[in-house]
Amino acid sequence: MLIGIDASRAVAGQRTGTEAYAWFLLRALIPLAGAQGHALRLYFNEPPSPHLFPAADHVEEVVIPFARLWTHVRLAAELQQRPPDVFFTPAHVIPLSYHGRAAATIHDLGYHYFPEAHPHRQLAYLKWSTRHNGRRAHRVFADSQATKDDLVRFDGIPADKITVVYPGVDPQLQRVEGEMVTAVCQKYQITPPYLLYISTIHPRKNLERLVLAYAQSDLPHQLVLAGKKGWLANPILEQISNLQSPISAHITLPGFIADEDKAALISGATAVLYPSLYEGFGFPILEAQACGVPVLAANTSSCPEVAGDAALLVDPSDVNAISDGIRQLTQDDTLRQTLVTKGHANVTRFSWEKTAEHILWGLEEIGEEGEVEIGD
């Protein structure tokens, strides 16, 4: 079977959420597909680096440079001229004019809960593209049961069309100590002890409440808010600058963290704080657990599903609950060790190899259905 895959999101220089998903999944899917006798055709909107994916005879890379409307014009034309048996998009949208067998991963529907956290044009596109993917695809892969439930609730996608396939966790993320942690802290001007948030600086991540909870927790720890600034980040930055000193001086925003520094930064933290208002999956929870660091997370959306019994779950709308949780994680050594031990066990549930296996099964299934239809 020839599987065409939109790999455009995998070439991003600074990979976050969906870009990381596409990159890790494809790296696991390429050898698996080859072992199963499938050919892959990867579509890029810019030339990938030579070592982006392992070289393989069963992989064809198709570079289609095009400044605007890449998906619905150039990719669509390529699919029309040379259709694969199945087309899969792991982090984007199925071309509007493509009518072949197709599958898509849908990551989250947070915009339904927090529409104000998106620019108007982006919000309109998210609503359209998610509904289009859900209705057009022969198989939908959802990152979590929470996302599957939202697809059924908001977009009316039949539940039997949706398969929950958990993403994996970066296998390079393991606990490191000593000089590596010291060097990374010096690089980003971070002073231990510190509490770490690591994700996009965005209203949906509940950072305004997190900052208030930190301010009232009265701890000697620095609060590190690491990640790229998203849309509407300014109110969060203004809130921090308006805090009384020395609290504001103990909050630092080092920006995007390079992949090679992430394990050390997480490992050096006293705890990872992730009381996000909504998540389709919640990678930072697993990243903390993989590095042996206790984590505080929201008790809503997919966070409990991902964390299992290995995180301190709190009501993300309650500043006092977040603050109490922070104090527990910094002061209760028994709780910390329990969460670390359980976290190591929990993270073994997730791997990109497992993700790739389940995705490939789904693609094979709809490919076989297509063969039956042609034969009829």
Low-confidence ranges of the chain (pLDDT < 70): 13-14, 67, 370-376
- Residue 278 and residue 364 in one domain: no
Query: Is 173 part of any domain?
Result: no
Rounded Cα distance between 326 and 295, Å, is 9
One DSSP character per residue, 154-189 reads: HH---GGGEEE------TT-----THHHHHHHHHTT
Which of 361, 352, 308 has the alpha carbon at shortest distance from 141? Answer: 361
- Residue 18 and residue 55 in one domain: yes
Query: Is 174 part of any domain?
Result: no
- Residue 77 and residue 198 in one domain: no
Total count of domains within the chain: 2
- Residue 146 and residue 195 in one domain: no
- Residue 40 and residue 136 in one domain: yes
Element (H, E) at 88: strand 86-89
Confidence (pLDDT) at 244: 77
- Is the distance from CB of 169 to CB of 347 less than 8 angstroms? yes
- Residue 240 and residue 132 in one domain: no
- Residue 19 and residue 147 in one domain: yes
Element (H, E) at 144: none
Long-range CB pairs of 332-336 (<8 Å, 24+ gap) are 335/294, 336/271, 336/294
Coil, strand or helix at 348 = coil
- Residue 213 and residue 357 in one domain: no
Confidence (pLDDT) at 376: 31
- Is the distance from CB of 96 to CB of 69 less than 8 angstroms? no
- Residue 323 and residue 225 in one domain: yes
Query: Is 189 part of any domain?
Result: yes
Confidence (pLDDT) at 375: 35
- Residue 185 and residue 264 in one domain: yes
- Residue 307 and residue 365 in one domain: no
Task: For residue 22, give the CATH number of its domain.
Answer: 3.40.50.2000
Q: What letter would DSSP give residue 139? A: E
| Residue with token string 């002890």 | 193
Query: Is 281 part of any domain?
Result: yes
Whole domain around residue 91: which residue ranges?
A: 2-168+351-375
- Residue 160 and residue 279 in one domain: no
Confidence (pLDDT) at 13: 67
pLDDT in tens, 232-278: 788 888 888 888 778 888 999 999 999 999 999 999 999 999 999 99
Confidence (pLDDT) at 373: 44
The model carries a pTM of 0.92
How far does CA 295 lie from the centroid of its chain? 17
pLDDT in tens, 181-213: 999 999 999 999 999 999 999 888 999 999 999
Confidence (pLDDT) at 67: 67
